[in-house]
Structure 1
Protein backbone atom coordinates (compact mmCIF):
# COMPACT_ATOMS: atom_id res chain seq x y z
CA UNK A 1 0.00 0.00 0.00
CA UNK A 2 1.46 3.36 -1.03
CA UNK A 3 1.44 6.18 1.53
CA UNK A 4 2.43 9.82 1.39
CA UNK A 5 2.34 11.70 4.66
CA UNK A 6 3.03 15.44 4.91
CA UNK A 7 3.94 16.85 8.31
CA UNK A 8 4.16 20.65 8.68
CA UNK A 9 7.16 21.72 10.76
CA UNK A 10 6.99 25.03 12.70
CA UNK A 11 10.69 25.70 12.09
CA UNK A 12 12.86 26.59 9.12
CA UNK A 13 14.21 23.44 7.42
CA UNK A 14 17.83 24.14 8.50
CA UNK A 15 16.79 24.54 12.15
CA UNK A 16 14.77 21.32 12.09
CA UNK A 17 17.64 19.42 10.43
CA UNK A 18 19.86 20.61 13.29
CA UNK A 19 17.37 19.27 15.84
CA UNK A 20 17.14 15.91 14.08
CA UNK A 21 20.82 15.40 14.98
CA UNK A 22 20.03 15.86 18.70
CA UNK A 23 19.10 12.59 20.46
CA UNK A 24 17.40 14.51 23.32
CA UNK A 25 15.10 16.25 20.83
CA UNK A 26 14.40 13.03 18.90
CA UNK A 27 13.47 11.25 22.16
CA UNK A 28 11.15 14.15 23.09
CA UNK A 29 9.58 14.25 19.61
CA UNK A 30 8.92 10.52 19.50
CA UNK A 31 7.56 10.28 23.07
CA UNK A 32 3.92 10.34 22.03
CA UNK A 33 0.91 9.07 23.98
CA UNK A 34 0.59 5.30 23.83
CA UNK A 35 4.27 4.71 23.10
CA UNK A 36 7.41 4.36 25.16
CA UNK A 37 10.75 5.23 23.61
CA UNK A 38 13.24 2.48 24.37
CA UNK A 39 16.28 3.79 22.51
CA UNK A 40 17.42 6.70 20.31
CA UNK A 41 20.72 6.69 18.44
CA UNK A 42 21.93 9.50 16.18
CA UNK A 43 24.99 8.56 14.13
CA UNK A 44 27.00 10.95 11.94
CA UNK A 45 27.78 9.18 8.66
CA UNK A 46 30.15 11.65 7.04
CA UNK A 47 29.86 15.33 6.20
CA UNK A 48 26.34 16.54 6.93
CA UNK A 49 24.84 13.05 6.55
CA UNK A 50 23.46 11.26 9.60
CA UNK A 51 21.25 8.36 10.64
CA UNK A 52 18.54 8.46 13.31
CA UNK A 53 17.39 5.17 14.81
CA UNK A 54 14.43 5.06 17.21
CA UNK A 55 13.18 1.94 18.93
CA UNK A 56 9.84 2.22 20.72
CA UNK A 57 7.06 0.07 22.11
CA UNK A 58 3.37 0.65 21.46
CA UNK A 59 0.17 -1.09 22.43
CA UNK A 60 -1.13 -3.66 19.95
CA UNK A 61 -4.56 -2.03 20.28
CA UNK A 62 -3.77 -0.12 17.07
CA UNK A 63 -3.89 -3.24 14.90
CA UNK A 64 -6.93 -5.29 13.84
CA UNK A 65 -8.20 -7.68 16.55
CA UNK A 66 -7.94 -10.71 14.26
CA UNK A 67 -4.13 -10.39 14.11
CA UNK A 68 -3.37 -9.34 17.71
CA UNK A 69 -3.01 -12.97 18.75
CA UNK A 70 -0.01 -13.22 16.42
CA UNK A 71 1.87 -10.28 17.96
CA UNK A 72 0.91 -10.09 21.63
CA UNK A 73 -0.13 -7.04 23.61
CA UNK A 74 2.80 -4.81 22.69
CA UNK A 75 4.67 -4.07 19.48
CA UNK A 76 8.31 -3.06 19.19
CA UNK A 77 8.84 -0.63 16.33
CA UNK A 78 12.24 0.22 14.91
CA UNK A 79 12.48 3.28 12.68
CA UNK A 80 15.63 4.28 10.82
CA UNK A 81 16.00 7.52 8.88
CA UNK A 82 19.21 7.96 6.88
CA UNK A 83 19.60 11.62 5.96
CA UNK A 84 21.87 13.01 3.24
CA UNK A 85 23.41 16.42 3.72
CA UNK A 86 21.74 19.69 2.79
CA UNK A 87 21.16 20.29 -0.92
CA UNK A 88 19.66 23.57 -2.13
CA UNK A 89 18.08 24.28 1.27
CA UNK A 90 16.45 20.83 1.52
CA UNK A 91 17.34 17.50 3.11
CA UNK A 92 16.48 14.10 1.68
CA UNK A 93 16.89 10.57 2.87
CA UNK A 94 15.42 7.13 3.24
CA UNK A 95 13.18 5.68 5.92
CA UNK A 96 12.58 2.12 7.05
CA UNK A 97 10.11 1.21 9.76
CA UNK A 98 9.60 -2.34 10.91
CA UNK A 99 7.49 -3.99 13.56
CA UNK A 100 9.92 -6.43 15.15
CA UNK A 101 8.84 -10.06 14.93
CA UNK A 102 6.19 -9.41 12.29
CA UNK A 103 6.24 -9.30 8.49
CA UNK A 104 5.16 -5.63 8.49
CA UNK A 105 7.46 -2.96 7.07
CA UNK A 106 7.36 0.57 5.66
CA UNK A 107 10.15 1.63 3.32
CA UNK A 108 10.52 4.80 1.35
CA UNK A 109 11.93 8.28 1.26
CA UNK A 110 11.78 11.26 3.55
CA UNK A 111 12.25 14.89 2.54
CA UNK A 112 12.53 18.10 4.55
CA UNK A 113 11.88 21.18 2.41
CA UNK A 114 11.31 24.85 3.16
CA UNK A 115 7.63 25.84 3.20
CA UNK A 116 6.58 29.39 4.02
CA UNK A 117 8.17 30.38 7.34
CA UNK A 118 8.58 26.73 8.32
CA UNK A 119 9.21 23.46 6.56
CA UNK A 120 7.40 20.40 5.31
CA UNK A 121 8.47 16.88 6.22
CA UNK A 122 7.21 14.35 3.66
CA UNK A 123 7.30 10.59 4.04
CA UNK A 124 6.61 8.67 0.83
CA UNK A 125 6.75 4.92 0.68
CA UNK A 126 5.21 1.49 0.72
CA UNK A 127 3.64 -0.34 3.65
CA UNK A 128 3.84 -4.10 3.22
CA UNK A 129 2.35 -6.80 5.42
CA UNK A 130 3.07 -10.34 4.27
CA UNK A 131 0.24 -11.94 6.23
CA UNK A 132 -2.10 -14.30 4.38
CA UNK A 133 -5.75 -13.19 4.40
CA UNK A 134 -5.14 -10.18 6.67
CA UNK A 135 -2.29 -8.42 4.83
CA UNK A 136 -4.31 -5.55 3.36
CA UNK A 137 -6.14 -4.89 6.65
CA UNK A 138 -2.83 -4.80 8.50
CA UNK A 139 -1.32 -2.50 5.86
CA UNK A 140 -4.23 -0.06 6.22
CA UNK A 141 -3.98 -0.16 10.01
CA UNK A 142 -0.22 0.29 9.93
CA UNK A 143 -0.52 3.26 7.56
CA UNK A 144 -3.12 4.90 9.82
CA UNK A 145 -0.99 4.23 12.90
CA UNK A 146 2.01 5.89 11.20
CA UNK A 147 -0.16 8.89 10.22
CA UNK A 148 -1.47 9.22 13.80
CA UNK A 149 2.02 8.92 15.26
CA UNK A 150 3.42 11.58 12.94
CA UNK A 151 0.51 13.91 13.76
CA UNK A 152 1.27 13.42 17.47
CA UNK A 153 4.95 14.10 16.79
CA UNK A 154 3.99 17.37 15.09
CA UNK A 155 2.38 18.48 18.36
CA UNK A 156 5.53 17.47 20.27
CA UNK A 157 7.73 19.52 17.91
CA UNK A 158 5.58 22.60 18.58
CA UNK A 159 5.84 21.94 22.33
CA UNK A 160 9.64 21.78 22.00
CA UNK A 161 9.73 25.07 20.07
CA UNK A 162 7.44 26.71 22.67
CA UNK A 163 9.91 25.81 25.44
CA UNK A 164 13.31 25.93 23.67
CA UNK A 165 12.75 28.31 20.77
CA UNK A 166 14.34 27.95 17.35
CA UNK A 167 17.92 26.61 17.26
CA UNK A 168 20.54 28.90 15.75
Structure 2
Protein backbone atom coordinates (compact mmCIF):
# COMPACT_ATOMS: atom_id res chain seq x y z
CA UNK A 1 0.00 0.00 0.00
CA UNK A 2 1.36 3.40 -0.96
CA UNK A 3 1.58 6.01 1.79
CA UNK A 4 2.22 9.74 1.23
CA UNK A 5 2.00 12.23 4.09
CA UNK A 6 2.99 15.87 4.48
CA UNK A 7 3.84 17.61 7.74
CA UNK A 8 4.17 21.41 7.77
CA UNK A 9 6.35 22.94 10.45
CA UNK A 10 6.15 26.67 11.24
CA UNK A 11 9.88 27.35 10.95
CA UNK A 12 12.81 27.36 8.53
CA UNK A 13 14.47 24.10 7.34
CA UNK A 14 17.50 24.54 9.63
CA UNK A 15 15.37 24.86 12.76
CA UNK A 16 13.07 22.06 11.59
CA UNK A 17 16.03 19.71 11.23
CA UNK A 18 17.34 20.63 14.69
CA UNK A 19 13.89 19.87 16.11
CA UNK A 20 13.63 16.50 14.33
CA UNK A 21 17.11 15.63 15.68
CA UNK A 22 16.10 16.46 19.27
CA UNK A 23 15.55 13.29 21.32
CA UNK A 24 13.26 15.14 23.75
CA UNK A 25 11.02 16.19 20.85
CA UNK A 26 10.92 12.61 19.52
CA UNK A 27 9.95 11.28 22.97
CA UNK A 28 7.20 13.89 23.34
CA UNK A 29 5.83 13.10 19.87
CA UNK A 30 5.79 9.37 20.64
CA UNK A 31 3.81 9.95 23.85
CA UNK A 32 1.44 12.36 22.06
CA UNK A 33 0.63 9.56 19.59
CA UNK A 34 -0.47 7.31 22.47
CA UNK A 35 2.67 5.19 22.67
CA UNK A 36 5.40 4.80 25.24
CA UNK A 37 8.95 5.52 24.19
CA UNK A 38 11.05 2.54 25.05
CA UNK A 39 14.21 3.91 23.42
CA UNK A 40 15.21 6.95 21.37
CA UNK A 41 18.70 7.34 19.96
CA UNK A 42 19.91 10.24 17.84
CA UNK A 43 23.22 10.02 16.02
CA UNK A 44 24.51 13.32 14.66
CA UNK A 45 22.65 16.61 14.87
CA UNK A 46 20.41 18.82 12.76
CA UNK A 47 23.31 20.79 11.28
CA UNK A 48 24.60 17.79 9.31
CA UNK A 49 23.49 14.25 8.49
CA UNK A 50 21.69 12.55 11.38
CA UNK A 51 19.75 9.39 12.21
CA UNK A 52 16.89 8.97 14.65
CA UNK A 53 16.12 5.45 15.86
CA UNK A 54 13.16 4.84 18.11
CA UNK A 55 11.38 1.91 19.64
CA UNK A 56 7.84 2.53 20.89
CA UNK A 57 5.07 0.38 22.30
CA UNK A 58 1.44 0.87 21.32
CA UNK A 59 -1.62 -0.83 22.76
CA UNK A 60 -3.21 -3.20 20.26
CA UNK A 61 -6.73 -2.02 21.08
CA UNK A 62 -7.16 -0.50 17.61
CA UNK A 63 -6.43 -3.84 15.98
CA UNK A 64 -9.64 -5.72 15.09
CA UNK A 65 -10.35 -8.57 17.51
CA UNK A 66 -9.96 -11.25 14.82
CA UNK A 67 -6.36 -10.05 14.18
CA UNK A 68 -5.22 -9.66 17.78
CA UNK A 69 -4.13 -13.28 17.83
CA UNK A 70 -1.43 -12.31 15.33
CA UNK A 71 -0.17 -9.27 17.22
CA UNK A 72 -0.95 -9.82 20.90
CA UNK A 73 -1.89 -7.07 23.33
CA UNK A 74 0.90 -4.66 22.44
CA UNK A 75 2.69 -3.58 19.30
CA UNK A 76 6.38 -2.77 19.38
CA UNK A 77 7.34 -0.47 16.53
CA UNK A 78 10.96 0.13 15.56
CA UNK A 79 11.62 3.12 13.31
CA UNK A 80 14.81 4.49 11.81
CA UNK A 81 14.85 7.77 9.93
CA UNK A 82 18.19 8.70 8.37
CA UNK A 83 18.61 12.25 7.06
CA UNK A 84 21.31 13.29 4.58
CA UNK A 85 23.36 16.44 5.09
CA UNK A 86 21.53 19.61 4.03
CA UNK A 87 22.10 21.55 0.85
CA UNK A 88 22.83 25.30 0.93
CA UNK A 89 19.14 26.13 1.52
CA UNK A 90 18.75 23.64 4.37
CA UNK A 91 16.79 21.16 2.24
CA UNK A 92 17.60 17.51 2.73
CA UNK A 93 16.41 14.02 1.87
CA UNK A 94 16.40 10.81 3.82
CA UNK A 95 15.03 7.34 4.28
CA UNK A 96 12.57 5.90 6.77
CA UNK A 97 12.06 2.28 7.78
CA UNK A 98 9.50 1.10 10.33
CA UNK A 99 8.80 -2.45 11.43
CA UNK A 100 6.39 -4.01 13.90
CA UNK A 101 8.17 -6.65 15.99
CA UNK A 102 6.72 -10.12 15.57
CA UNK A 103 4.41 -9.06 12.75
CA UNK A 104 5.43 -9.30 9.09
CA UNK A 105 4.74 -5.64 8.29
CA UNK A 106 7.24 -3.01 7.16
CA UNK A 107 7.28 0.56 5.89
CA UNK A 108 10.09 1.53 3.51
CA UNK A 109 10.18 5.06 2.26
CA UNK A 110 11.86 8.32 1.45
CA UNK A 111 11.50 11.61 3.21
CA UNK A 112 12.31 15.18 2.25
CA UNK A 113 12.54 18.42 4.17
CA UNK A 114 12.27 21.67 2.17
CA UNK A 115 11.30 25.30 2.68
CA UNK A 116 7.59 25.91 2.16
CA UNK A 117 6.98 29.59 1.66
CA UNK A 118 8.77 32.24 3.69
CA UNK A 119 8.18 30.84 7.19
CA UNK A 120 7.46 27.11 7.01
CA UNK A 121 9.08 23.79 6.20
CA UNK A 122 7.43 20.85 4.46
CA UNK A 123 8.44 17.39 5.63
CA UNK A 124 7.15 14.75 3.22
CA UNK A 125 7.09 11.02 3.89
CA UNK A 126 6.40 8.67 0.99
CA UNK A 127 6.77 4.94 0.83
CA UNK A 128 5.25 1.51 0.74
CA UNK A 129 3.65 -0.39 3.59
CA UNK A 130 3.89 -4.14 3.05
CA UNK A 131 2.32 -6.85 5.19
CA UNK A 132 2.78 -10.50 4.38
CA UNK A 133 -0.09 -11.82 6.47
CA UNK A 134 -2.16 -14.38 4.59
CA UNK A 135 -5.73 -13.21 3.92
CA UNK A 136 -5.35 -10.14 6.15
CA UNK A 137 -2.42 -8.34 4.49
CA UNK A 138 -4.48 -5.42 3.17
CA UNK A 139 -6.16 -4.89 6.56
CA UNK A 140 -2.81 -4.92 8.37
CA UNK A 141 -1.34 -2.51 5.80
CA UNK A 142 -4.26 -0.10 6.26
CA UNK A 143 -3.98 -0.28 10.06
CA UNK A 144 -0.25 0.38 9.84
CA UNK A 145 -0.76 3.32 7.46
CA UNK A 146 -3.37 4.73 9.84
CA UNK A 147 -0.97 4.46 12.75
CA UNK A 148 1.75 6.24 10.74
CA UNK A 149 -0.68 9.03 9.82
CA UNK A 150 -1.73 9.44 13.46
CA UNK A 151 1.89 9.50 14.63
CA UNK A 152 2.81 12.17 12.08
CA UNK A 153 -0.22 14.26 13.01
CA UNK A 154 0.75 14.05 16.69
CA UNK A 155 4.34 14.97 15.84
CA UNK A 156 3.18 18.00 13.84
CA UNK A 157 1.10 19.19 16.82
CA UNK A 158 4.01 18.73 19.23
CA UNK A 159 6.36 20.51 16.81
CA UNK A 160 4.00 23.44 16.36
CA UNK A 161 3.70 23.79 20.14
CA UNK A 162 7.47 23.67 20.60
CA UNK A 163 8.16 26.11 17.77
CA UNK A 164 5.65 28.80 18.76
Aligned to 1:102: 103
Cα displacement (A) at 1:24: 1.7
Cα distance in 2 between the residues matched to 1:72 and 1:151: 25
Cα distance in 1 between the residues matched to 2:41 and 2:138: 32
- Higher mean displacement: 75-84 or 47-56: 47-56
Aligned to 1:44: 44
User: Unaligned 5+ residue runs, structure 1?
Assistant: 163-168
> Would you say how many aligned residue pairs link Structure 1 and Structure 2?
161
Cα distance in 1 between the residues matched to 2:63 and 2:113: 29
Aligned to 1:166: none
Aligned to 2:6: 6
Cα distance in 2 between the residues matched to 1:94 and 1:2: 15
Question: How does 1:22-101 map onto structure 2 within 5 Å?
Answer: 22-44=22-44, 48-89=48-89, 90-101=91-102
Cα displacement (A) at 1:29: 2.6
Find the residue that maps to 1:94 and give its secondary structure: strand
Q: Are residues 1:129 and 2:128 paired?
A: no
What TM-score does the superposition give when structure 1 sets the normalisation length? 0.90
User: Unaligned 5+ residue runs, structure 2?
Assistant: none
What TM-score does the superposition give when structure 2 sets the normalisation length? 0.92
Question: How does 1:101-120 map onto structure 2 within 5 Å?
Answer: 101-116=102-117, 117-120=119-122
What CA deviation, in whole Å up to 9, does each residue of 1:95-149 have, x standing for no partner?
Answer: 0001011101100101111102111110000000000000011101111111111
Return structure 1 stretches of 4+ with deviation > 4 angstroms.
Answer: none
| Matched-pair contact (CA < 8 Å) for 2:33–2:155 | no
